[in-house]
Structure 1
Amino acid sequence: MTARRFRFVTVDVFTETRFGGNPLAVFPDARGISDAEMQALAAEFNLSETTFVLPPDDPANTARVRIFNRKAEMPFAGHPNVGTGFVLADRARDGLLRFEEIAGLVHVRVEEGGTTIEAPQPLSTGATMDAATLASCVGLSAADVLPDRHGPVLASCGNSFVVAEVTPEALGRAAPDLARFRAVARDWTAAGPERLPLYLWAREGRDALRARMFSPLSGTIEDPATGSAATPLAALLHSLGEGDRFTLRQGVEMGRPSTLRLAAWRVEDGVRASVGGSCVRVLEGEALL
């Protein structure tokens, strides 16, 4: 039987330097790829996420974009949208792309200085987590978690994370304990079954932030850049009167430094946020199915 061929592109997202940032695989035309094949391809690429572009349900929109991590489909994610917007820039109308996703419609602005996406939902917060419990998952102590602005809390702008501020020194030495993640996830299920993404952040200045994200139960031991976690962080800080524009660094400890540009603003339905940055093409090829 003749193999079916599907073109893919990989890009490094939130960086201007090849082999930095967060790598992403994009299938610009995924028509004919089954759900099971999409999941298998995402596992084969073994990246944080892989995206599959399909015709939109509404012709007023640009595309329907499906996002898979190594183990499951995701309702929304940051760097996959930024990278997919970069790859599909030639489809933009007046610099704007509109992606249909499970979490809602994602607006993508493609400009010479980078690609920016608006998260599909306003900030929502949910369950809190005890500081000692969170700290135990990443080899820290409860004293390393800073409670003054907010305690560890589940926050989302379309994809949920447990967001916690820690000291800058603690951020650098955090290390995930897989057994502890599994034990905590059995009882703390607010983020979903077998899902416990922890997003730790620290101040580097008034508008300068640094972060790390650990989600080993989803197959991502550590992520070089997590736009869908950075957006609720920006929205949360804005809701606390901490500013409206931020520059965030991530991936430093992994040797894949990433720079994310964040903005947050209040509108009628709540606090909204965007994340943007640069991208670099790395690979092009075909997958055989």
Structure 2
Amino acid sequence: MTQYFVYDVFTDTAFGGNQLAVFPDATALPEAQLQKIAREFNFSEVTFVYPPKDPANTAKVRIFTPTMEIPFAGHPTIGTAIALRDEGHAGPMTLELGVGPIDCAFAGDSAAFTIAAPLDRLATPDPALVARALGLGIEAIDSTTHAPVQATLGLPFVLVALRSKADLDACAPSVEHIRQGAETYPAGIDFALFAYVRTGTQIAARMFAPLDNIPEDPATGSASATLAALLTEELGQDLTLDILQGEKMGRPSHISARTTHANPISVTISGNAVRTMQGTLVV
């Protein structure tokens, strides 16, 4: 039997934020079961923790969605760091992820990680296709700062600015057009859409990845980091952003992003996490 914990991440209140299952010691789990376990939880991600390859680091962490293993994601990094701290790992820690070592620090109940990597702009999808994929008219897309762009800091998203909160609330993703986008602009997460509205430093966002069994995600730290890097490049300045996601789902999530305009841009993502369940896997 193997112990696991469930955390709500990017919230300080139980039953908000984004759910994450953490296996703090996955060494006894057979490789062939990892994807099945992630599918059984059916959260957007599950993490499996192993001893680090480099003894100078804290742990190696593998991240699974319901359909695949991914190299990096934000809420699993924050949630796993807080889970390990709750289990007695004191002080700052370095987690070995698929994108390399990620440093994590703590301030009170909040954890933060910093990623400094070049922003990779993979494609500029057709705005009309993006609008149809979101179930919106093309007039809803705001290209003032940037047109829709597929970009990554380790996990690819289509970043889409919308004109109003009403447009964001009206999103009704079309799987048919998302599938068309995935075929036209292939990437690791199948045409995952991160739509947002920005008012100064305040951002309201929604993320949809139905082809990867994530109809909507309540909190997406990796997409938030990618957006923060993109806006820093486009605006040419350091940024501090407060990102609200999951509100439409009834799971409000609060993500803080802080950037330094450098080469490469440095992005720090921070947030809280609350343990809501724990148990043992008996398979």
* Fold in common (TM above 0.5): yes
Identical amino acids, percent of aligned pairs:
38
Q: Under a length normalisation based on structure 2, what TM-score does the superposition of the two structures give?
A: 0.95
2:58 maps to amino acid: T
For 1:229, the equivalent position in structure 2 comes to 223
Contact 2:23 2:48 in 1 (8 A): yes
SS at match of 1:195: coil
Contact 2:113 2:269 in 1 (8 A): yes
Does structure 1 residue 85 correspond to structure 2 residue 81? yes
1:125: how far off?
1.6
For 1:146, the equivalent position in structure 2 comes to 142
1:148: how far off?
1.2
Does structure 1 residue 256 correspond to structure 2 residue 251? yes
Of residues 154, 174, 192 in structure 2, which corresponds to 1:197?
192
Does structure 1 residue 276 correspond to structure 2 residue 274? no
Does structure 1 residue 45 correspond to structure 2 residue 45? no
Contact 2:116 2:265 in 1 (8 A): no
For 2:175, the equivalent position in structure 1 comes to 178
Question: What root-mean-square deviation, in Å, do the aligned CA atoms of Structure 1 and Structure 2 show?
Answer: 1.4
Does structure 1 residue 286 correspond to structure 2 residue 283? no
1:288: how far off?
1.2
SS at match of 1:259: strand
Distance 1:228 1:35 in 2: 25
1:158 maps to amino acid: G
For 1:133, the equivalent position in structure 2 comes to 129
Provide, for residues 211-255 of structure 1, a one-character-per-residue CA deviation record: whole Å limited to 9, x for no partner: 100000111000000000000111111112265101000001000
Does structure 1 residue 71 correspond to structure 2 residue 67? yes
- 5+ residue gaps, structure 2, are none
For 1:211, the equivalent position in structure 2 comes to 205
Contact 1:91 1:97 in 2 (8 A): no
Distance 1:196 1:184 in 2: 6
For 1:267, the equivalent position in structure 2 comes to 262
For 1:99, the equivalent position in structure 2 comes to 95
1:202 maps to amino acid: V
2:67 maps to amino acid: K
Contact 1:103 1:121 in 2 (8 A): no
For 2:185, the equivalent position in structure 1 comes to 188
For 1:245, the equivalent position in structure 2 comes to 240
- Runs of 4+ with >4 A deviation: 90-93
1:91: how far off?
5.2
1:56 maps to amino acid: P
1:277 maps to amino acid: G
1:198: how far off?
0.6
1:155: how far off?
1.5
1:71: how far off?
0.4
Distance 2:244 2:75 in 1: 14
Distance 1:237 1:265 in 2: 11
Distance 1:112 1:74 in 2: 29
Distance 2:66 2:115 in 1: 22
Contact 2:204 2:245 in 1 (8 A): yes
Distance 1:176 1:274 in 2: 30
For 2:13, the equivalent position in structure 1 comes to 17
Q: Under a length normalisation based on structure 1, what TM-score does the superposition of the two structures give?
A: 0.93
Contact 1:244 1:263 in 2 (8 A): yes
- 5+ residue gaps, structure 1, are none
Contact 1:122 1:273 in 2 (8 A): no
Contact 1:161 1:197 in 2 (8 A): yes
